[in-house]
Amino acid sequence: MDFAPELLRMNDGKLLTGAEGWAKRRAEILEILDRECYGRMPGAPAKTEGVVESVDEKCCAGHAKLERITLSFDTPAGPFSFPINFFNPTKAGPHPVIVLLNFRPDAYDRYYPAEEIIDRGYALAVIYYQDVATDDGDFSKGLAACFPRTNPAEDWGKLSMWAYGASRAVDYLLTRPETDAKNIAVIGHSRLGKAAMICGAHDERIRFTVSNDSGCGGAAMNRTWHEGAETIAVMDRVFPFWFCRNRAKYKESAADMPFDQHFLAACCAPRFLVIGSAEQDLWADPLSEQYTAYAASPAWRLFGLRGFMGGSEPFHAGEKNLDGEVGYHKRDGVHFLSRQDWLVYMAFFEKHRG
């Protein structure tokens, strides 16, 4: 199967055939995505500091400490801060670290099996996404208020702000001696799966990017839309603030987009990406999510790597392929970030750890 637009066709029309040109092509792709879809993400601050506010010394059966940390960094409007919950294994490090963008502020939550993650040897940093930016059209609060908005067509949307917040957590975690800097993962579910992909696409310090049920604007190809799935037009009515305004240009015709979601996925190359879908989650368009894994893979092949090894024939529930640098799994059930999803993602990390 062929997917448009051609991933490796440079803006000047030349076809990329070797890894030497990838940095340039990746920069072109990020520019297209920033301008036409997610909005322009500001550069990283000079530094991100963390203050440990309190510690629960014995969480997860005493296998971890739960640290509540306030992160702060400079912005054009002055310092900005937000809290994270950091589950830090008591066993000696360094530990691979997973950064989770999550929906609720509570330290224990149905979207992550904290104990199981800790017992498999990971540290886990959890961000409540609305501590970074509210999930609405209000740009006068939080991180949204910290950067000038001068060009609505290209000003960044909320998804990119949540992604930026995850990268600031990475800044801080890299200052902690317990962190295994080579093995950092970012994960999110649904809208936060879209944000996790944006984060992993931009931030080359992240080895593993995980998209769980992210669907439209995340891992689902727009051009291969299937019945029952979300569309750009619907999203533009309900969640226009997640993106820059330019994206609405394509709501009548995805075929006119100068990109598709395999561009976003490919920006993780030659690092690692794993995409998960749920069989009954038709809104997120599971097959179009598998297509993204497949269609992004030529970027990995430039490096002599494999990309996605599962092909483009539709997976059935329970099927997965984690062999290459791009993994995909489809579980049974509905839209959720489940324990079963986590087990697949941790297996992927363990197969490909640096």
* Cβ distance to ligand GCU smaller for residue 230 or 289: 230
CB of residue 350 to ligand GCU, shortest distance in Å:
27
111 touches 124 (CB < 8 A): no
Per-residue buried b or exposed e for 315-327, using 16+ beta carbons within 10 Å of the residue's own CB: beeeebbbebbbb
Tokens read off for 64: 């971890």
Q: Which CB, 38 or 122, lies closer to ligand GCU?
A: 38
By CB atoms closer than 10 A (0-12, 13-18, 19+), residue 72 is middle
Nearest Cα to Cα of residue 73 among 41, 49, 99: 49
Contacts to ligand GCU by CB under 6 A: 190-191, 215-216, 230, 283
At closest approach, how far in Å is the CB of 103 from ligand GCU?
8
- CA neighbours within 13 Å on the CB side: how many for 97? 28
229 vs 302 by CB, closer to ligand GCU? 229
Of 28, 45, 100, the closest CA to residue 259 belongs to 28
Closest approach of ligand GCU to the CB of residue 281, in Å: 9
Count Cβ atoms below 10 Å from residue 292 Cβ, excluding itself. Answer: 32
Asked if the peptide bond before residue 258 counts as cis, ω within 30 degrees of 0, the response is no
162 vs 315, which CB is nearer to ligand GCU?
A: 162
Residue 287: CB minimum distance to ligand GCU, A: 16
Least separation in angstroms between residue 218's CB and ligand GCU is 7
Q: Give me the least distance between CB of 113 and ligand GCU, in Å please.
A: 19
- Token pair recorded at residue 124: 């886990």
